[in-house]
């Protein structure tokens, strides 16, 4: 009995110990559960959501570039792309190997991805491949379990509905480079593009917009179950240009295949209505990457399709420069409108002989006749009497040889030289340099945009500045009124004298541009022809009578130029045309200027609120 009692006591103690142990364990477990569920509940909820929810940043849609009537010149369309979120992949290299087995990656693409993975924060998506087809996108989705961290997203890509017609104005976009991303990490977002040229570059910050985000529910292998929340990015601002798309197309049609440029401007306020450069390029190629073969083709083309000739092409202005020389002479009182100079066909200065374009000469010529007949000898004498510094000062006031306040990157200032400029070059200025400058040759270089500005300033008497931005985010920009620009401070009487000469060039018998005369109902145009040599012609060859520039190789022929404004009695449109190696301005450039001016006056964009034939592209 005693033994039984002892055995029962031992069992009871063991049971109590076991129960105590169980209570302790349950207490510990309960305490831990309380800690996990109550004290640290929010922490583990967050961790669970982190495993369940994938948060991604999204590049915002880029703002559009529009013409003055709302026609889309640069817009957006859907772009399927594959991104990699490094923090969701345990082995990035293995993930890329699996991806390459589905959609091949080049060595360059692979190296870029791995470089960006190490450079950027793990939560920032890295672009693997874009411009995917529907079939490629579907393959990625089907193989999602083998591609942890790889997501398919639909962003936007930049499209240019009119291909090469506005390339030099609108410009193009391209992926950010490493230096861009170093300055702004958000530029690493897949699908984001930055402006590299044209208005895309000038207004890049406004066009970019602000990034958005999306939250997606994913399963254990990373497959997207559903979208939980989306905060759309803020689309970039729309930029409205002064350009009339229809007029630009008419200008390009008129230029045909000529290597040429033309600018049309509202001469009252400087709004650029058309700025055409021929040949051009397709800006959309830069969006996805230009091939080496295409780049070599562009750079080897002697007609330079990548250069905006209107703002960066430098040309001697030739005889179109003569109005600036005349105004400088009148303002300095070196001449009067009634002074007459004899033109025998040449001008002798010491041992040097400077020829007039007309071999037999023009006889006795005054200022009006000098402009009308484009007499070189008359302007040799005016330049000699006036001096290069006064000519340069007037030229700069008229917009030539100086940087304009243009809202377009890449313009070149050109050159109208002075004595001081020549001294800086280590040589003195010779009187012969002044004489040859009187006909727009020598060291003088200007752009077609400067020539158009020059014509607009003569027509308006104001220092109008060319500009291309009309609206930004729907707000009309300054510079839309003629009163926004100061007077040239050139006496109206002097301007009137020069304008009469330009009128005679086109409308009087014997003028050098009868082919530019407008038809009935369009008023009259005032203009000036010019031909600019690109290589010196020796005195012996010129006097032999055997010289014929049309027989020279294309690249050695003179450039053909024309500047004008119309209507003469109420100036509204100014223009310039430069035909590279076109020989004579009267034959090559003046007829083109006539067709362009007629197109401008028929459309009359400065007096319209809607385009007569606008075809709005269906793009975002």
CA 601 – CA 264 distance, rounded (Å): 11
Question: Which residues are CB-contacts of 118 (< 8 A; sequence separation ≥ 6)?
Answer: none
CA of residue 524 relative to chain centroid, distance:
33
Question: Which residues are CB-contacts of 564 (< 8 A; sequence separation ≥ 6)?
Answer: 455, 502, 506, 516, 525, 526, 527, 528, 574, 575, 576, 593, 597
Q: Where are the alpha helices (DSSP H) in 387-490?
A: 388-397, 419-424, 431-437, 448-460
CA of residue 77 relative to chain centroid, distance:
21
β-pairing, 239-241 with 65-66? Answer: parallel
CA 288 – CA 277 distance, rounded (Å): 24
Complete DSSP assignment for 192-244: --EE-SHHHHHTHHHHH-B-EEEEEEE-TT--EEEEEEEE--BPPPPEEES--
CA 596 – CA 264 distance, rounded (Å): 8
CA 230 – CA 354 distance, rounded (Å): 75
- Residue 480 is a catalytic residue: no
Catalytic residue, from 319, 374, 395, 460: name it. Answer: 319
Tokens read off for 307: 């250069």
β-pairing, 72-84 with 469-472? Answer: unpaired
Would you call 2 helix, strand, or coil by DSSP? Answer: helix
β-pairing, 194-195 with 260-266? Answer: unpaired
Which residues are marked as active site? 319
């Amino acid at each position: 009995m005693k033994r039984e009692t002892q055995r029962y006591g031992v069992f009871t103690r063991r049971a109590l110990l076991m129960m105590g142990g169980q209570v302790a364990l349950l207490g510990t477990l309960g305490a831990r559960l309380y800690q996990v569920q109550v004290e640290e509940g929010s922490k583990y909820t967050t961790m669970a959501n982190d495993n369940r929810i994938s948060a991604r940043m999204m590049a915002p849609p880029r703002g559009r570039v529009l013409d003055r009537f709302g026609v889309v010149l640069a817009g957006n369309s859907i772009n399927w792309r594959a991104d990699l979120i490094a923090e969701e992949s345990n082995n990035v290299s293995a993930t890329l190997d699996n991806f390459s087995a589905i959609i091949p990656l080049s060595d360059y693409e692979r190296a870029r991805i791995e470089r960006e993975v190490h450079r950027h924060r793990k939560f920032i998506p890295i672009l693997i491949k874009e411009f995917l087809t529907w079939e490629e996108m579907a393959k990625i989705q089907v193989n999602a379990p083998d591609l942890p961290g790889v997501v398919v997203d639909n962003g936007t890509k930049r499209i240019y509905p009119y291909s090469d017609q506005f390339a030099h104005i609108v410009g193009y976009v391209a992926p950010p480079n490493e230096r861009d991303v170093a300055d702004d990490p958000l530029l690493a977002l897949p699908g984001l593009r930055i402006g590299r040229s044209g208005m895309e570059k000038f207004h890049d910050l406004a066009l970019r917009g602000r990034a958005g985000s999306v939250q997606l529910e994913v399963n254990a292998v990373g497959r997207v179950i559903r979208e939980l929340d989306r905060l759309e990015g803020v689309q970039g601002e729309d930029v409205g240009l002064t350009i009339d798309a229809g007029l630009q197309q008419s200008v390009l049609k008129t230029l045909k295949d000529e290597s040429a440029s033309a600018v049309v401007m509202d001469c009252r306020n400087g709004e650029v209505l058309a700025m055409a450069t021929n040949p051009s390029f397709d800006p959309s190629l830069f969006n996805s990457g230009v091939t080496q073969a295409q780049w070599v083709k562009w750079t080897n083309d002697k007609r330079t399709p990548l250069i905006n000739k209107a703002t960066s092409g430098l040309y001697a202005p030739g005889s179109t420069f003569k109005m600036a020389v005349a105004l400088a002479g009148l303002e300095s009182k070196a001449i009067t409108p009634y002074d007459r100079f004899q033109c025998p066909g040449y001008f002798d200065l010491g041992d040097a002989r400077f020829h007039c374009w007309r071999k037999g000469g023009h006889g006795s010529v005054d200022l009006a006749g000098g402009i009308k007949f484009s007499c070189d000898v008359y302007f040799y004498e005016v330049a000699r009497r006036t001096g290069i510094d006064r000519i340069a000062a007037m030229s700069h006031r008229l917009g030539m040889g100086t940087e304009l306040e243009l809202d377009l990157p890449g313009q070149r200032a050109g050159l109208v030289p002075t004595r001081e400029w020549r001294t800086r070059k280590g040589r003195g200025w010779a009187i012969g340099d002044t004489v040859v400058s009187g006909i727009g040759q020598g060291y003088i270089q200007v752009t077609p945009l400067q020539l158009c500005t020059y014509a607009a300033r003569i027509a308006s008497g104001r220092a109008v500045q060319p500009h291309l931005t009309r609206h930004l985010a729907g707000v009309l920009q300054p510079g839309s009124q003629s009163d926004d620009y100061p007077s040239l401070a050139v006496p109206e009487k002097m301007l009137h004298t020069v304008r009469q000469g330009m009128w005679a060039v086109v409308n009087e018998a014997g003028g050098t541009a009868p082919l530019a005369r407008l038809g009935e109902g369009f008023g009259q145009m005032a203009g000036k022809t010019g031909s600019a040599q690109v290589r010196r012609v020796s005195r012996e060859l010129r006097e032999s009578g055997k010289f014929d520039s049309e027989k020279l190789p294309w690249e050695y022929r003179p450039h053909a130029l024309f500047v004008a404004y119309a209507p003469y009695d109420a100036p509204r449109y100014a223009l310039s045309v430069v035909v590279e190696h076109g020989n004579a301005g009267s034959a090559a450039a003046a007829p083109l200027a006539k067709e362009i001016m007629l197109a401008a006056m028929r459309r009359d964009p400065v007096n319209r609120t809607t385009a007569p034939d606008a075809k709005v592209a269906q793009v975002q």
